[in-house]
């Protein structure tokens, strides 16, 4: 079952331009939004411009919702649920797009700053599944927030502007790396060695008027100088690291990739390449029969746990609020609404890489340029942890997408005994709703710089729009 290359549908001219224009909007988003907080803020601003109202304010005033109303609710600034109220009763179910907006990275520890041999460094703890050796010798940026004791938040974003400094994790020179090169890949760089170099000027040499006598009783003068800079620029004390969430991410913008500019290389395609078209699809939806939902969640890369992960009751509680505001509330209505829903759990899939053909079974893998990917099941070795969608649901989606001339393909995440992975699909499936994994193929998945095909992104956008209209 050979799938046709989707680029053939978009010859040079208006059709090709539509693909490229959509991809450019996504590229700019990906360059700007490198944390779940930044994604949430971006989506809220865009949603409000499209007529969505803050559900928390509607709840506070106990206003009623009616068909056609557009609302959103932030989950502690790290996730977001958007809804377009349909004409049908909520208990008839919803059409749901779900994706995650967290990505693999390094997080600063709570007590990160130290000095060693007159060099200042920040200690990190990596987040999600990464090849640690990929994160050395790269220009890195710091993104996040510092929560002060008075409740104010200080935003941190250093390393993205041309005039900003960047940071990095050093590596051994090849001349001295004999022992290192003998290690297995998982041990070439250890987790505790992912410390970020941030300065090397001692305080006495950095500040006019400071001399040896004034600083001779102070220790760690390079560290003290970094603290001086943090105080001057961010009004931040060392103790403030205790209540900070600062993420270490690759510095720089996402870039067009290839002579033909058919691809995008950037940080965080997993899973913002699904979140962005899902968001765009629901903002463009009009007068739906069923209520539509777009769920953008945190913590997927570490098991979907915690208050902002899919395992929390945030989505279920929000549906209960909708039921109440549409005049339908009962526990049974909420349960029926969830059970009768249909969802696309949108997450990336591993695209076939000609450099590494042995890990995939060619008939059951996804390829660049072949459109949106359906993974009937994910999991690992024997489908462990998988949702495994029903044949009936897959058949319904096939018919929908074929009718809409939307390019799609099916895939597994590698050979049967090779490995695998999971998504939020099984969590939605716990409500007994119909769920299937869908998304976009990615090369270099979980690396600092990942690659996607622009036409696959566009077909995902079209596919999500069709799902919201027809599911």
The low-confidence residues of the chain, meaning pLDDT below 70, are 206-217, 379-380, 416-421
pLDDT at 194: 97
CA atoms of 439 and 464, how far apart (whole Å): 10
pLDDT at 219: 85
pLDDT at 360: 83
Cα atoms found within 13 Å of the Cα of residue 247, Cβ hemisphere only: 20
Closest CA to 295 of 457, 96, 438: 96
Give residue-wise pLDDT tens across range 24-78.
999 999 999 999 999 999 999 999 999 999 999 999 999 999 999 999 999 999 9
pLDDT at 361: 85
CA atoms of 442 and 453, how far apart (whole Å): 8
Tokens of 412: 């597994």
DSSP assignment letter at 458: H
CA atoms of 121 and 107, how far apart (whole Å): 13
pLDDT at 377: 83
Residue-wise over 397-431: b if at least 16 C-beta within 10 A, else e?
Answer: beebbeeeebbbbbbbbbeeeeebbbbbbbbbbeb
Q: Are 97 and 467 in contact (CB under 8 A)?
A: yes
Between the CA of residue 122 and those of 126, 192, 246, 315, what are the distances in Å?
13, 11, 11, 36
User: Domains in the chain, ordered, with CATH?
Assistant: 6-103+267-470 (3.40.630.10), 105-250 (2.30.250.10)
CA atoms of 456 and 267, how far apart (whole Å): 17
pLDDT at 86: 97
pLDDT at 378: 78
pLDDT at 414: 72
pLDDT at 216: 57
pLDDT at 218: 74
Q: Are 428 and 438 in contact (CB under 8 A)?
A: no
Q: Is the dihedral of CA 351, 352, 357, 359 positive or negative?
A: positive
CA atoms of 297 and 288, how far apart (whole Å): 23
pLDDT at 206: 64
Give residue-wise pLDDT tens across range 307-334.
999 999 999 999 999 999 999 899 999 9
């Amino acid at each position: 079952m050979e799938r046709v290359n989707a680029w053939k549908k978009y010859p040079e001219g208006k059709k090709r331009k539509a693909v490229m224009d959509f991809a450019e909007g996504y590229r700019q988003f990906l360059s700007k939004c490198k944390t779940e907080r930044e994604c949430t803020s971006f989506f809220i601003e865009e949603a409000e411009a499209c007529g969505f109202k803050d559900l928390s304010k509607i709840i506070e005033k106990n206003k009623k919702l009616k068909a056609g109303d557009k609302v959103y609710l932030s989950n502690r600034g790290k996730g977001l649920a958007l809804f377009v109220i349909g004409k049908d009763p909520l208990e008839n179910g919803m059409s749901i797009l779900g994706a995650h907006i967290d990505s693999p990275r390094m997080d600063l520890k709570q007590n990160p700053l130290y000095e060693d041999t007159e060099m200042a460094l920040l200690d990190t703890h990596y987040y999600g599944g990464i090849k640690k050796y990929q994160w050395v010798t790269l220009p890195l940026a710091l993104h996040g927030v510092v929560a002060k004791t008075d409740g104010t938040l200080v935003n941190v974003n250093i390393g993205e502007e041309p005039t900003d400094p960047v940071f990095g994790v050093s590596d051994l020179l090849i001349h001295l790396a004999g022992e290192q090169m003998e290690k297995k890949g998982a041990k070439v760089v250890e987790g505790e060695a992912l410390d970020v170099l941030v300065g090397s000027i001692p305080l006495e040499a950095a500040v006019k008027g400071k001399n040896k006598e004034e600083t001779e009783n102070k220790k760690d003068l390079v560290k003290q100088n970094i603290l001086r800079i943090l105080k001057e620029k961010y009004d931040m004390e060392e103790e403030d690291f205790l209540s900070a969430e600062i993420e270490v991410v690759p510095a720089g913008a996402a870039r067009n990739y290839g002579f033909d500019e058919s691809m995008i290389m950037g940080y965080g395609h997993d899973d913002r390449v699904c979140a962005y078209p899902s968001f765009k699809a629901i903002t463009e939806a009009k007068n739906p029969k069923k209520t539509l939902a777009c769920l953008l969640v945190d913590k997927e890369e570490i098991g979907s746990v915690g208050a902002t992960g899919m395992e929390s009751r945030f989505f279920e509680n929000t549906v209960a609020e909708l039921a109440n505001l549409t005049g339908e509330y009962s526990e049974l209505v909420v349960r029926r609404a969830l059970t009768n829903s249909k969802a696309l759990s949108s997450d990336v899939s591993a695209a076939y890489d000609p450099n590494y053909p042995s890990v995939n079974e060619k008939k059951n893998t996804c390829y660049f340029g072949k459109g949106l990917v359906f993974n009937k099941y994910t999991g690992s070795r024997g489908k462990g942890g998988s949702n495994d969608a029903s044949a009936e649901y897959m058949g319904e989606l096939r018919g929908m997408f074929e009718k809409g001339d939307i390019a799609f393909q099916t895939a597994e995440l590698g050979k049967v005994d090779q490995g695998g992975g999971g998504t939020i699909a099984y969590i939605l499936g716990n409500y007994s709703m119909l769920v299937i994994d869908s998304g976009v193929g990615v090369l270099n998945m979980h690396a600092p710089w990942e690659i996607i095909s622009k036409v696959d992104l566009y077909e995902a956008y079209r596919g999500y729009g069709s799902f919201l209209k027809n599911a």
